[in-house]
Structure 1
């Protein structure tokens, strides 16, 4: 009887481990979110001195990973891009939305709106 209990317990543990492994295979991570900001800067000095440091801190504190910021841009089709482009990544679309609606960013944005016209949108990436 003792041997049968060991075999039964072993089977139960094996089933549990198999179920957890299968769950891990089927679980898919949330896709990364990319945020694209197009900014027509109207006062470059004030924008750089007053808005950028506040916005950078608020967004970095929210988990932003900046991928491109204000570098050279080229139009490949359609209208030319805004004078400043920023591309960022967040771990999820929800995290991106939370970052751009955080009190710290909204305060920075009040200043940024004085020195530029911002268009900001997010898109989910493709799960890899």
Structure 2
């Protein structure tokens, strides 16, 4: 045998090595897709913004005027996607100084939506009506996105 024939006999055929490599690569890719697919599904879930709660402490000074305000404000809240959680029901103090104020709480899907409601042009007229018929304190509290129930 000549030198070239001996060298060829010692060298493995490159084609023989390719087939197992392709098979192993295909198996590895398939396994990786099974492992990472749930991770992509978790990341693909849309991130919900935290809800926004509007808390109002109200001392009514004119029942008739306040009733008009409350009706129109309720309509505006609904127009901006909010809804009431509490609306003047009985309040039981559990700590701190007693209050005469009644409480109204409503919720929006996000602070941005609560601010859109608050900055609506209709609010100027309603604020004047509110201020004539009550003493009012109001604030927005950002909720906990991870704590809130799924969107409806």
Name the TM tier (shorter chain): 0.7 to 0.9
Secondary structure, aligned partner of 1:97? helix
Q: Which residue of 1 aligns with 2:73?
A: 55
Residue 66, structure 1, aligned to residue 54, structure 2:
no
Q: Which residue of 2 aligns with 1:46?
A: 65
Answer yes or no: is the 8 Å Cα contact 2:56–2:105 preserved in 1. yes
Answer yes or no: is the 8 Å Cα contact 2:65–2:132 preserved in 1. no
2:41 to 5, 14, 21: 21
Deviations 1:32-78 (A, max 9, x none): 11110011111112211x21121111111011110110000011111
Structure 1 runs of 4+ aligned residues shifted over 4 Å read 17-20
Higher RCO structure (Cα 8 Å, ≥6 apart): 1
Q: CA deviation at 1:82?
A: 4.2
1:94 to 88, 105, 112: 112
1:77 to 81, 92, 95: 95
Gaps of 5+ in 2: 1-25, 148-152
The TM-score normalised by the length of structure 1 is: 0.77
For residues 82 and 20 of structure 1, do their structure 2 counterparts lie closer, same or farther at Cα, with a shift above 3 Å needed?
A: farther
Gaps of 5+ in 1: 1-6
Cα RMSD (Å) of the superposition? 2.4
Aligned residues: 116
Q: Which residue of 2 aligns with 1:116?
A: 134
In our comparison, the structure showing a higher alpha carbon Rg is 2
Deviations 1:2-35 (A, max 9, x none): xxxxx8xxx8xx7xx948525325x531111111
